[in-house]
Homo-oligomer: A and B are copies of this chain.
């Protein structure tokens, strides 16, 4: 409820700022800053409005009639009461078994459940409110619990850590069987007369829809075609580079590029982009369910409860400045690291790929990844440096790092297997190219632009000096920065 209110007040603030911006544009800007109004104040107003206008382009407008039904209220007292009753029942009316191991396990599970009770009703809300803020608070608490579990595992010896998994599922803690991933890579196998394409059909397993669905969701998280494609291609490169460590990374060339990148991933990204386009165009009008007259409208409203409350288009703009560029590189790095962790973690903790914990971890990442990505975007997009990095983004970063550290601690041998020389060369070249581009884009290009600007100014100077003698010498200095700083000052210069 507080969430929706803050959203609405935010929206009204934006529209007020936008109105102010129009006023500035129609009024005093062309005429220069009049002396009677303090220039500093006007400048602040101008800047605010520019930011809010920019923000308005990426953020959709929301209409909300502010209805908050029973469903929406914070049930803090209800949860407290039910929790108390449950504790009274379990501890006083049930007989405590004499089995210490069982009680310990039960105590830990109960602690986690109480933590979830607290968190789901009381934790800080994130950026998402649909279908219910409690849903996202739940996943936040799960993140905390998962991170604490990872920290615990990290502090055990390798043997103890693997055996600890037995407490979760007694079938775990057993070494994985060696698998043969080498195979025939012929698309058309003339040796097999009954079905020469049998190699292709063999690869058509559950991973095809998994790849598609995965990339559909990742596109909804990242909300940018280019970044998705780069991550998708980069991951195949990583698979090539690391197939000497994990045998299940070794695939046929056509499996890498045609089936994974071209078919599954691209189709997923394409469908994701279509959904994004729909989400950014659809109207965001929230009416209370009882205020909707028709039956069809009510059904539609219930269905729309599972769509976002409002929509923000992500414009990562990595090339706009050095900070954003480094941030985008960092995001891509962490994303790829999290994807690699999926494979390495099950390898070092002896988890069979089809185990339900592996699937649960993916479901977890799907739910927290979207929130984290939005929080990172908000953090980057915020012009002030005071803002906090969002809680879910903070946790997802810590979880990714902790998972990587577990892999590093549990199997340093696999991770330090010598990398083939050709792979090293490729990576070295890639990193070099990125470095050169960074240097050129954010350091050399600026110097070149500045030099060109100075030369142009020198050529124009004799003419300008004649005209502007009355205005004094400060005008020329202002004009020197005009190209770099933007439009308004140039306009003023030209008009004068």
B148 touching A115, Cβ below 8 Å: yes
A419 to B241, CA, bound (A): 77
Given the interface contacts A87-B401, A402-B87, does A108 sit within 8 Å of B409 by beta carbon?
no
Q: Which of A70-78, A179-187, A473-481 contacts B (4 or more CB under 8 A)?
A: A70-78
**Cα distance A395–B76 when bound, in Å?**
11
In Å, the complex CA distance between A372 and B345 comes to 42
Main secondary structure of the interface of A (DSSP, over half): helix
B409 and A155 form a contact (CB under 8 A): no
Which of B88, B106, B386 is the one whose CB lies under 8 Å from A155? B106
CB < 8 Å neighbour of A154 from B87, B153, B391: B87
The count of identical subunits is 2
- Whether the Cβ atoms of B77 and A121 lie closer than 8 Å is no
Nearest chain B residue, comparing its CB with the CB of A105: B155
Which residues of chain B have C-beta atoms less than 8 A from A408's C-beta? Answer: 91-92
> Which residues of chain B have C-beta atoms less than 8 A from A92's C-beta?
405, 408-409
Asked if residues A122 and B391 are in contact (CB atoms below 8 Å), the reply is yes
Contacts of A103 in B (CB 8 A): 155-157, 160
For the complex formed, measure the closest distance between the CB of A31 and the CB atoms of chain B, giving whole angstroms. Answer: 32
Given the contacts A144-B115, A147-B114, A148-B114, A74 and B155 also touching, CB distance less than 8 Å: no
**Cβ-based interface call for A37 (8 A):** no
Shortest CB-to-CB span from A329 to chain B, Å, is 16
Contact partners of A68 in chain B: CB under 8 A: 386
Please report the total number of A residues contacting B with Cβ < 8 Å: 59
A110 at the interface (CB under 8 A from B): yes
Cβ distance A396 to chain B, nearest Cβ, rounded Å: 11
A438 proximity list for chain B (CB < 8 A): none
CB distance from A315 to the nearest CB of B (A): 22
Query: For window 96-153 of chain A, which residues contact chain B by CB distance below 8 Å?
Result: 96-98, 100, 103-104, 106-108, 110-111, 114-115, 118, 121-124, 144, 147-149, 151-153
**Is A83 among interface residues, defined by CB-CB distance under 8 A?**
yes
Indicate whether A439 reaches chain B with its CB closer than 8 angstroms.
Answer: no
* Residue A388 is within 8 A (CB to CB) of chain B in the complex: yes
Instruction: Using A147-B114, A160-B100 as known contacts, say yes or no to A388 and B155 having CB atoms under 8 A apart.
Output: no
Compute how far the CA of A153 lies from the CA of B155 in the bound complex, rounded to whole angstroms.
Answer: 23
Q: Let me know if A199 is at the binding interface, CB within 8 A.
A: no
Interface residues of A (CB under 8 A from B): 1, 68, 73-74, 76-77, 80, 83-84, 87-88, 90-92, 96-98, 100, 103-104, 106-108, 110-111, 114-115, 118, 121-124, 144, 147-149, 151-157, 160, 385-389, 391, 394-395, 397-398, 401-402, 405, 408-409
5 interchain residue pairs of minimum CB distance:
A107-B155, A74-B388, A124-B124, A107-B152, A111-B148
